[in-house]
């Protein structure tokens, strides 16, 4: 049986001819002095037969033909609805047609009489108070048009008589039928005309996606004006799971505004917003007013989750992005781990721990990666990683937090040492001042990729215990952990370090902006407020239409993924709704067993996993250098001593405003620091920050009180 085609799994099942490449034994060919041709690229696909190819080709042709039909005829459901409506209209033709002809006759008579009486000229002259001057002219025109009407009537009657005598009644019947059809068209009922009644039923998406109905939906959502329209770059096409189309907005209308009002558009299209994907078309194929829309036939996140490929992977190269999940359309989303760090936030029981374990499992499957785990919850969720973890901390007691500090200090010192050694390497081995795959995989360089995963990081960062027991008013344990994480997140990626932080308390006080701003990749699952969503994804994301509080609680593992690193596969500045892969703890345990075997074989099993639980104490020079570099790496902020002297409200705001600018609703600022709006406003006025008045802000129906961030920053600087 021949198999000349293969199904490309990376392009959605496209059929491609399989290359006719004869297998060549390279050593034998070399012995026989024969030329060995270059090996073609490895093709990832599924071999199929000629018969399967013909069936697939016929199916594609049929789909292509269906996609050219009007939207309401492309799906069986909408086609049945359209057919039923058409059949009902045909059945009512004997009743409706005479009425339409009568209305058309009345409309035509009114139009003829207005023409004979020169109504437009008469009314215009009357409105301009010049009727007396124009009356003689109007009378002449009226007499002329009256004569024309009489002559035309006489000629028509004479013509009818001649045709009847010479050709019979058939031509007259045909002409009369055509004339009655014109009258019926003139007398058809129009939307909004008298006699219209409320219809029983519901709006159909297929009808709304077609032609003028789509324009009406955009107008009703107040996305375009009453006199504006849309241009269909790609007509609505049903792809089996939903509707896809590309449109151009009117000039001066921005795609970003439509994205921020996705809920209003979903209402106009009669769908839940989880079924609607609105994206800008970027690059040479798009512009600031071009949108790609996809509307699913059903809730795309209600199906069973997709099992992670990591469950069956024998190993993984962490330099490759990790399989993370799928979009609503089933497009695979991969998560880069190298060169960036990840922050995961959600309310409890939304799949946060499952998500955090995905990149860590991939790291466990790479024998050249060093894994460090700190489980702030202390359960069994991360116990499988004990088999491979260089350092493993379970629990968030004071002793656990102090051990974490020692581990992070060891890592921070290693980061600094790596940069010293990278600077001494030749340009061929290290072309830039950062690690390469060759450097991280060579044990001689002692620079393996290192992934630090901390679950329930808020339990460590919020630990209000003095770092030095002899100085109760000094630096706290949580503050020291935050400093070290900030340093590693800021300088570590180029040296091969990545962070994976997960929290169920996405609060600006728990995760300060100095740390959060260094985490280049964010993933927000369901949260309770849009302020919590902005804490994870970043300031301004809510106004851009990215709000994790709108996610449904029933959608476990579904969140907004935002990548800010230009070197990743993620789109900078745009959040993608992703349903993450499912990876049960049994599969993780099996993956860690495979990862341990790989490490034993490669000789890279170290630290706690190898039974070596002792931490190497830092020498005084490294300790002194670490103290200065960690302090220097912390973003400029209000001095700690000054914070205690500031009014309480300003001290709290200093940690949450970051580099933000512009006007922000005072209610939003109050929520960020956990205050009520009224006492917050009073405290701002007492601190010398005057209200900027009330303004209309995105997400608010009425004007709200706003505060100027620059005024807040000036109050902090001048305090």
Q: Which of 78-87, 164-173, 561-570, 583-592 has the highest average model confidence (pLDDT)?
A: 583-592
Once rounded to an integer, what is the mean pLDDT over residues 170-197? 70
Among 40-54, 154-168, 177-191, 389-403, name the one with the lowest average pLDDT.
40-54
Q: Are strands 521-524 and 342-345 parallel, antiparallel or unpaired?
A: parallel
Task: Write the CB contacts of 701 (distance below 8 Å, at least 6 apart in sequence).
Answer: none
- The pLDDT of residue 25 is 43
Query: pLDDT (tens digit, 9 = 90+) per residue, 565-598?
Result: 433 344 445 788 999 999 999 999 999 999 999 9
Q: Which stretch of DSSP H or E encloses residue 294?
A: strand 290-296
Please write the tens of the pLDDT for every residue from 108-145: 888 888 888 888 777 777 777 776 777 788 888 888 88
Angle subtended by helix axes 76-91 and 93-116, to nearest 10: 70
In 360-393, which positions are buried (b, 16+ CB within 10 angstroms) versus exposed (e)? bbbbbbbbbbbbbbbbbbbeebbbbbebbbbbbb
Which of 103-107, 379-383, 386-390 is modeled with the greatest confidence? 386-390
Rounded to whole angstroms, the Cα distance separating 621 from 628 reads 11
Residue 502 CB partners (closer than 8 Å, separation 6+): 343, 344, 345, 352, 353, 355, 356, 453, 454, 455, 456, 457
What would the pLDDT profile of 307-361 be if each residue is shown by its tens digit? 999 999 999 999 999 999 998 888 899 999 999 999 999 988 888 999 999 999 9
Higher pLDDT, 219 or 594: 594
CA 405 – CA 118 distance, rounded (Å):
93
On the question of a common fold for 205-296 and 309-626, the answer reads no
- DSSP letter assigned to residue 311: G
- Residue 450 · residue 655 · CB < 8 Å: no
Long-range own/partner contacts, residues 177-184 (CB < 8 A, 24 or more apart): 180/101, 182/104, 183/100, 183/101, 183/104, 183/105, 183/108, 184/97, 184/100, 184/101, 184/104
**Confidence (pLDDT) at 643:** 42
- At residue 46, the pLDDT reads 58
Main-chain dihedrals φ then ψ at residue 178, nearest 5 degrees: -65, -40
Most confidently modeled of 219-228, 540-549, 563-572, 645-654?
219-228
Distance in angstroms (rounded) separating the CA atoms of residues 466 and 464:
7
Give 460 or 283, the one with higher predicted confidence: 460
CATH T-level topology, domain 640-718: Arc Repressor Mutant, subunit A (1.10.10)
Per-residue pLDDT band at 88 (split at 50, 70, 90)? confident
Integer Cα distance of 548 and 568 in angstroms:
22
Domains of the chain by residue range: 5-68, 87-186, 205-296, 309-626, 640-718
Whether domain 309-626 has CATH 3.90.420.10: no
| Token digits of residue 702 | 């009425």
- Kindly state the average pLDDT of the residues 259-268: 86
Average pLDDT in the 177-198 region? Answer: 65
Residue, of 61 and 560, whose pLDDT is higher = 560
Each residue's pLDDT tens digit, 15-47: 555 444 444 444 444 444 444 444 454 455 556
Please give the Cα distance from 148 to 155 (Å, whole number). 10
What average pLDDT does the segment 145-167 reach? Answer: 87
User: How many alpha carbons lie under 13 Å from residue 279 in its C-beta half-sphere?
Assistant: 19
Please give the residue that has the higher pLDDT: either 404 or 219: 404
State how far the Cα of 502 lies from the Cα of 359, in Å rounded to an integer: 12
More confident residue, 635 or 675: 675
Which of 210-224, 350-364, 657-671 is predicted least confidently? Answer: 657-671
What pLDDT score was predicted for residue 638?
Answer: 40
Residue 369 CA to residue 365 CA, distance in Å, equals: 8
Domain at 205-296: CATH code: 3.30.980
Q: What percent of the chain has pLDDT over 70?
A: 80
User: Coil, helix or strand for 510?
Assistant: coil
Give the least confident one: 243-257, 310-324, 434-448: 243-257
**Per-residue pLDDT at 428 exceeds 80:** yes
Burial class (CB in 10 A: 0-12, 13-18, 19+), 487: buried
pLDDT for res 64:
64
Secondary structure of 344-402 in the HEC alphabet? EECCCCCCHHHHHHHHHHHHHCCCCEEEEEEECCCCCCCHHHHHCCCEEEECCCHHHHH
The better pLDDT of the pair 416, 236 is held by 416
Distance of alpha carbon 283 from alpha carbon 281, whole angstroms: 7
Which whole number is the average pLDDT over 283-302?
A: 88
Give Rg (Cα) of the chain: 36
End-to-end Cα spacing for the chain: 84
Q: Is 244 helix (H, G, I), strand (E, B) or coil?
A: strand
Q: Give me the pLDDT at residue 119, please.
A: 82
The mean predicted confidence, pLDDT, of the chain is 81
Q: Helix/strand/coil (H, E, C) string of 583-606?
A: CCHHHHHHHHHHHHHHHHHHCCCC
Return the pLDDT at 390: 97
* Dihedral angle of Cα 508, 510, 516, 517, to the nearest 10 degrees: 50
Q: At residue 675, does pLDDT exceed 80?
A: no
How do beta strands 663-665 and 704-708 pair?
Answer: antiparallel
pLDDT tens for 528-559 read 888 788 888 887 777 777 888 888 888 889 99
In the beta sheet, which residues pair with residue 664? 707
């Amino acid at each position: 049986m021949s198999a000349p085609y293969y199904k490309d799994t990376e392009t959605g099942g496209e059929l491609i001819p399989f290359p006719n490449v004869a297998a060549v034994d390279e050593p034998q060919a070399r012995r026989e002095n024969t030329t060995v041709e270059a090996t073609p690229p490895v093709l990832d696909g599924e071999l199929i037969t000629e018969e399967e190819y013909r069936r697939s080709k016929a199916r594609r042709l049929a789909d292509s033909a269906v996609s050219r039909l009007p939207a309401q005829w492309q799906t069986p459901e909408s086609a049945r609805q359209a057919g039923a409506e058409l059949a009902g209209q045909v059945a009512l033709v004997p009743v409706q047609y005479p009425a339409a002809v009568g209305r058309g006759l009345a409309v035509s008579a009114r139009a003829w009489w207005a023409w004979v009486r020169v109504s437009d000229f008469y009314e215009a002259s009357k409105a301009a108070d010049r009727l007396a001057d124009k009356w003689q002219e109007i009378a002449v025109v009226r007499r002329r048009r009256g004569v024309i009407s009489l002559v035309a009537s006489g000629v028509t009657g004479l013509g009818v008589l001649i045709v009847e005598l010479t050709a019979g009644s058939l031509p007259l019947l045909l002409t009369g039928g055509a004339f009655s059809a014109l009258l019926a068209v003139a007398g058809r009922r129009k939307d909004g005309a008298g006699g219209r009644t409320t219809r029983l039923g519901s709006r159909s998406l297929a009808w709304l996606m077609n032609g003028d109905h789509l324009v009406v939906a955009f107008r009703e959502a107040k996305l375009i004006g009453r006199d504006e329209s849309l241009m269909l770059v790609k007509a609505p096409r049903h792809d089996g799971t939903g509707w896809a189309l590309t449109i151009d907005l009117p000039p001066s209308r921005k795609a970003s505004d439509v994205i921020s009002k996705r809920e209003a558009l979903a209402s106009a299209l009669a769908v839940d917003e989880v079924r609607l994907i609105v994206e800008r078309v970027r690059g040479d194929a798009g512009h600031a007013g071009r949108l790609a829309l996809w509307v699913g036939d059903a809730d795309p996140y209600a199906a069973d989750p997709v099992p992670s490929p990591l469950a069956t992977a024998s190993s993984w190269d962490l330099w490759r992005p990790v399989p993370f999940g799928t979009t609503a359309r089933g497009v695979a989303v991969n998560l880069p781990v190298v060169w960036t760090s990840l922050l995961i936030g959600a309310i409890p029981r939304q799949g946060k721990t499952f998500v955090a374990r995905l990149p860590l499992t991939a790291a466990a499957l790479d024998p050249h990666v060093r894994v460090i785990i700190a489980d702030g919850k202390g359960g069994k969720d991360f116990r499988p990683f004990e088999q491979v973890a260089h350092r493993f901390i379970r629990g968030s007691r004071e002793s656990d937090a102090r051990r974490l500090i020692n581990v992070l200090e060891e890592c921070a010192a290693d980061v600094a040492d790596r940069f010293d050694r990278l600077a001494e390497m030749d340009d061929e081995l290290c072309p830039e001042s950062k690690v390469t795959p060759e450097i991280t995989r060579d044990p001689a360089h002692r620079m393996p990729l290192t992934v630090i995963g901390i679950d329930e990081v808020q339990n460590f960062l919020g630990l209000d215990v003095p770092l030095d027991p002899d100085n109760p008013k000094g630096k706290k344990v949580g503050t020291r952990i935050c400093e070290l994480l900030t340093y590693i997140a800021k300088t570590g990626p180029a040296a091969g370090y990545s962070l994976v932080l997960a929290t169920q308390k996405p609060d600006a006080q728990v995760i300060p902006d100095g740390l959060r701003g260094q985490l280049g990749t964010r993933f927000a699952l369901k949260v309770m407020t849009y302020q919590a969503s902005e804490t994870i994804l970043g300031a301004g994301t809510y106004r851009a239409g990215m709000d994790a509080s709108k996610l449904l609680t029933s959608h476990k593992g579904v969140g907004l993924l935002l990548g800010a690193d230009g070197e990743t596969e993620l789109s900078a500045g745009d959040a993608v709704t992703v349903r993450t892969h499912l990876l049960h703890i049994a599969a993780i345990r099996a993956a860690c067993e495979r990862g341990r075997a790989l490490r034993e074989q490669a000789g890279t099993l170290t630290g706690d996993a190898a039974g070596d639980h002792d931490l190497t104490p830092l020498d005084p020079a490294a300790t002194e250098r670490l103290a200065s570099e960690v302090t220097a790496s912390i973003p400029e902020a209000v001095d700690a001593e000054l914070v205690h002297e500031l009014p309480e409200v300003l001290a709290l705001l200093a940690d949450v405003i970051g580099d933000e600018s512009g006007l922000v609703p005072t209610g939003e600022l109050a929520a960020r620091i956990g205050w009520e709006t009224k006492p917050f406003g009073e405290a701002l006025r007492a601190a010398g920050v005057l209200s900027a008045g009330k303004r209309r802000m995105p997400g608010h129906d009425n004007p709200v009180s706003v505060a100027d961030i620059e005024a807040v920053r000036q109050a902090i600087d001048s305090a």
